[in-house]
Chain A
Amino acid sequence: MTNNNPSSKPLVRLENLCKSFDGEDVLKNINLTIDDKAFVTLLGPSGCGKTTILRLIGGFETPSSGAVYFDDEFINDTPPHKRAINTVFQRYALFPHLNVFENVAFGLRIKKTPEKEIWEQVKRMLALVDLKGYEKRPVSKLSGGQQQRVAIARALVNMPHLLLLDEPLGALDLKLRKDMQLELKRMQQQAKITFLYVTHDQEEALTMSDVIVVMKSGTIQQIGSPHDIYNEPANAFVADFIGESNIVDAEMYQSFIAQACGVVFPCVDARFEDTELVDMVIRPEDIEVLPAGQGLIDGVVEAAVFKGVHYEMTIHTADNSYWLIHSTHSAKVGETIGMYVAPENIHIMRRMFPTSDNRLTGVIKWIENEECGVVVNDIEYVWAYEEEKFFSAKEGDSVLFSLSPRDITVLAADDGDFNAYMDSVIYKISRYEMIAYADENRYLIHAEYDEQVGTTVGIRLRMEKAIPLRRIEAREEEK
Chain B
Amino acid sequence: MRSRQPLIPYLIWMVIFVIVPLGFVVYYTFTNENGSFTFENFQYVGKYASTYVYSLRLALVATLICLLMAYPFAMILSRSHAKVQTMMMLLIMIPMWINFIIRINAIAFVLEENGIINKAITVLGGKPLKLIHTDFAVVLGMVYNYFPFMLLPIYTVMAKIDKSLYEASADLGGNGWQTLRRVTLPLSIPGVITGITMVFVPAASTNIIAGYLGHTKMIGDIIETTFKTEVNYNVGSTLSLVLMLIILIAMVVMNHFDQDKDGAMLL
> Which A residues form the contact surface with B (CB < 8 A)?
58-60, 79-81, 85-87, 89-91, 93-97, 106-107, 109-111, 154-155, 158
Tell me which of B171, B175, B183, B187 has the highest count of chain A C-beta atoms within 10 A of its own C-beta.
B171
- Among B174, B186, B260, contact of A110 (Cβ-Cβ < 8 Å): B174
The interface-forming segment of B26-34, B41-49, B160-168, B215-223 is B160-168
B38 on the A face (CB < 8 A): no
Question: CB distance B167 to A80 under 8 Å?
Answer: yes
Q: From residue 134 to 191 of chain B, which have CB atoms closer than 8 A to chain A?
A: 162, 164-165, 167-175, 178, 182-183, 186-187
A-B contact pairs, 24 of them (CB 8 A): A58-B167, A58-B171, A59-B170, A60-B170, A80-B170, A81-B172, A81-B173, A81-B174, A86-B172, A87-B171, A89-B164, A89-B167, A89-B168, A91-B164, A93-B162, A93-B164, A93-B168, A95-B168, A95-B183, A97-B259, A97-B260, A107-B173, A110-B178, A111-B173
Q: Which 3 A-B pairs have the closest CB atoms?
A: A107-B172, A93-B164, A93-B168
Complex: how many Å from CA A95 to CA B183?
7
Q: Which residues of A contact B170 (CB under 8 A)?
A: 59-60, 79-81
Question: CB distance A95 to B165 under 8 Å?
Answer: yes
Contacts A79-B175, A80-B170, A95-B168 supplied; 15 other A-B pairs, CB < 8 Å: A60-B170, A80-B171, A81-B170, A81-B172, A81-B173, A81-B174, A85-B171, A89-B164, A89-B167, A91-B164, A95-B183, A97-B186, A106-B169, A109-B182, A110-B172
Q: Which residues of B contact A89 (CB under 8 A)?
A: 164, 167-168, 171
- Among A59, A79, A90, A96, contact of B187 (Cβ-Cβ < 8 Å): A96
Q: Which residues of B contact A90 (CB under 8 A)?
A: 164
Q: Which residues of A contact B165 (CB under 8 A)?
A: 93, 95
Query: From A87, which residue of chain B is reached at the shortest CB distance?
Result: B171
Complex: how many Å from CA A80 to CA B172?
8
Complex: how many Å from CA A324 to CA B170?
49
Q: Which residues of B contact A94 (CB under 8 A)?
A: 168
Query: From B163, which residue of chain A is reached at the shortest CB distance?
Result: A93
> Which B residues form the contact surface with A (CB < 8 A)?
162, 164-165, 167-175, 178, 182-183, 186-187, 259-260
Q: Which residues of B contact A93 (CB under 8 A)?
A: 162, 164-165, 167-168
In the complex with contacts A93-B165, A95-B165, A110-B178, A81-B171 CB distance below 8 A = yes
Complex: how many Å from CA A80 to CA B174?
9
Q: Which residues of B contact A96 (CB under 8 A)?
A: 187
Q: Which residues of A contact B167 (CB under 8 A)?
A: 58, 60, 80, 87, 89, 93
Question: CB distance A110 to B164 under 8 Å?
Answer: no
Name the distance in Å between B155's Cβ and chain A's nearest Cβ.
Answer: 19
Complex: how many Å from CA A154 to CA B178?
17
Complex: how many Å from CA A170 to CA B245?
53
Name the distance in Å between A47's Cβ and chain B's nearest Cβ.
Answer: 19
Q: Which residues of A contact B187 (CB under 8 A)?
A: 96-97
Name the distance in Å between B173's Cβ and chain A's nearest Cβ.
Answer: 4
Name the distance in Å between A314's Cβ and chain B's nearest Cβ.
Answer: 44
Complex: how many Å from CA A78 to CA B173?
12
Tell me which of B164, B175, B186, B187 has the highest count of chain A C-beta atoms within 10 A of its own C-beta.
B164
Question: CB distance B168 to A81 under 8 Å?
Answer: no
Name the distance in Å between A448's Cβ and chain B's nearest Cβ.
Answer: 41
Q: Which residues of A contact B260 (CB under 8 A)?
A: 97
Complex: how many Å from CA A80 to CA B175?
9
Name the distance in Å between A93's Cβ and chain B's nearest Cβ.
Answer: 4
Complex: how many Å from CA A141 to CA B173?
26
Question: CB distance B164 to A158 under 8 Å?
Answer: no
Name the distance in Å between B228's Cβ and chain A's nearest Cβ.
Answer: 48
Question: CB distance A86 to B171 under 8 Å?
Answer: yes
Question: CB distance A106 to B182 under 8 Å?
Answer: yes
Name the distance in Å between B193's Cβ and chain A's nearest Cβ.
Answer: 14
Complex: how many Å from CA A58 to CA B170?
10
Name the distance in Å between A407's Cβ and chain B's nearest Cβ.
Answer: 43
Complex: how many Å from CA A58 to CA B168?
10
Complex: how many Å from CA A110 to CA B178?
7
Q: Which residues of B contact A60 (CB under 8 A)?
A: 167, 170
Query: From B176, which residue of chain A is reached at the shortest CB distance?
Result: A81
Query: From B186, which residue of chain A is reached at the shortest CB distance?
Result: A97
Query: From B189, which residue of chain A is reached at the shortest CB distance?
Result: A97
Complex: how many Å from CA A97 to CA B259?
9
Complex: how many Å from CA A35 to CA B253?
56
Q: Which residues of A contact B164 (CB under 8 A)?
A: 89-91, 93
In the complex with contacts A60-B167, A89-B167, A91-B164, A106-B186 CB distance below 8 A = no
Q: Which residues of A contact B183 (CB under 8 A)?
A: 95
Q: Which residues of A contact B259 (CB under 8 A)?
A: 97
Query: From B183, which residue of chain A is reached at the shortest CB distance?
Result: A95
Question: CB distance A87 to B168 under 8 Å?
Answer: yes
Name the distance in Å between A440's Cβ and chain B's nearest Cβ.
Answer: 32
Complex: how many Å from CA A94 to CA B165?
7
Query: From A166, which residue of chain B is reached at the shortest CB distance?
Result: B164
Complex: how many Å from CA A87 to CA B170?
10
Complex: how many Å from CA A154 to CA B186?
19
Query: From B178, which residue of chain A is reached at the shortest CB distance?
Result: A110
Complex: how many Å from CA A111 to CA B174?
9
Q: Which residues of B contact A158 (CB under 8 A)?
A: 172-173
Name the distance in Å between B205's Cβ and chain A's nearest Cβ.
Answer: 33
- Among B162, B172, B175, contact of A106 (Cβ-Cβ < 8 Å): B172
Complex: how many Å from CA A111 to CA B178?
11
Complex: how many Å from CA A299 to CA B175?
66
Name the distance in Å between A118's Cβ and chain B's nearest Cβ.
Answer: 13
Name the distance in Å between B188's Cβ and chain A's nearest Cβ.
Answer: 10
Q: Which residues of A contact B172 (CB under 8 A)?
A: 81, 86, 106-107, 110, 154-155, 158
Q: Which residues of B contact A86 (CB under 8 A)?
A: 171-172
In the complex with contacts A96-B187, A97-B187, A110-B173 CB distance below 8 A = yes
Complex: how many Å from CA A96 to CA B243?
37
Query: From A106, which residue of chain B is reached at the shortest CB distance?
Result: B172
Tell me which of A87, A91, A97, A107 has the highest count of chain B C-beta atoms within 10 A of its own C-beta.
A97
Q: Which residues of A contact B174 (CB under 8 A)?
A: 81, 106, 110
Q: Which residues of A contact B169 (CB under 8 A)?
A: 95, 106
Complex: how many Å from CA A158 to CA B178?
17
Q: Which residues of A contact B168 (CB under 8 A)?
A: 87, 89, 93-95
Q: Which residues of A contact B182 (CB under 8 A)?
A: 106, 109-110
Question: CB distance B175 to A81 under 8 Å?
Answer: yes
Tell me which of B165, B168, B170 has the highest count of chain A C-beta atoms within 10 A of its own C-beta.
B168
Q: Which residues of B contact A97 (CB under 8 A)?
A: 186-187, 259-260
Name the distance in Å between A433's Cβ and chain B's nearest Cβ.
Answer: 38
